[in-house]
Amino acid sequence: MLQAIDLTKRYEDQQLALDALNLEIKEGEIFFLLGANGAGKTTTINLFLNFIEPTGGKALINGIDVTKEPLESKKYVSYVSENVMLYGNFTARQNLDFFAKLGGKTNLTKEDYYMRMREVGLQEDAFEKKLKTFSKGMRQKVGLTIAIIKDAPNILLDEPTAGLDPKAAAELLQILVNQKRQGKSILMCTHDIFRAKNIADRVGIMKEGRLVMVRTREEFMEDDLEKIYMDYMQEMVIEKV
């Protein structure tokens, strides 16, 4: 379970990146955080991962305060970033092995890695190939495998479908749905409103560091999510002008 309680971040230049975010993502739930660039989506993820310190409030992972017990909290979270580069001179399996062990999975065999890579749709001939020969989609799949192999109850994804072709993006989302079925809490930051409509249980729209709207699947399927989102975006453009 992921919880943000009055989570606030103000940077040194006094820019308010996140303004008292209150959010709870339950087990077996996919939450899509939508918003324009600079809305505070990535800041939220960075705060959950303790990459930056909050200036107010707290972020909890499975009830553990990430600021007070960062290492303990990270046992319960996996992370997939926007542009997974990984170690280009290592093979996919070597990358998996390294990050799995960092995540505490020390007893996995080569076959375990192969099995996981098959699950995310990687071709067998790619398992022992160096990552620098991989396409972005393939690298993203390896990144997702790393997240899955950790088997943490929470998954944070920061724009994981950016730059992926529709097929690769659809495959990736299918994997997330499978993870959700296993009871994982999933927080995904994205601009991709269409994917949100496909798999999200709830969506939240962020604007200038504030969570301005949250809708459940039922609600956003009833309303026109695209229109709501575009209205917020337009408002922001007009305000800026």
Phi, psi angle pair for 207, to nearest 5°: -145, 120
Question: How far is Cα 80 from Cα 184, in angstroms, rounded to an integer?
Answer: 14
* Cα–Cα nearest to 34, from 159, 227, 195, 206: 206
**Least Å distance between CB 157 and other proteins?**
11
CB nearer to other proteins: pick between 77 and 203: 77
- Give the rounded distance of the alpha carbon of 62 from its chain centre: 16
CB nearer to other proteins: pick between 31 and 76: 76
**Least Å distance between CB 173 and other proteins?**
21
- Give the rounded distance of the alpha carbon of 134 from its chain centre: 22
Q: State the CB neighbour count (10 A cutoff) for residue 67.
A: 15
Binding site for other proteins (CB under 8 A): 42, 46, 49, 51-52, 71-72, 74-75, 77-79, 81-87, 89-90, 94, 98-99, 101-104, 143, 146, 150, 156
Q: State the CB neighbour count (10 A cutoff) for residue 157.
A: 25
CB nearer to other proteins: pick between 118 and 132: 132
**Least Å distance between CB 138 and other proteins?**
16
CB nearer to other proteins: pick between 98 and 114: 98
CB nearer to other proteins: pick between 87 and 194: 87
- Do residues 67 and 50 lie in contact, with contact meaning Cβ atoms separated by under 8 Å? yes
**Least Å distance between CB 221 and other proteins?**
32
Question: How far is Cα 7 from Cα 22, in angstroms, rounded to an integer?
Answer: 7
**Least Å distance between CB 105 and other proteins?**
10
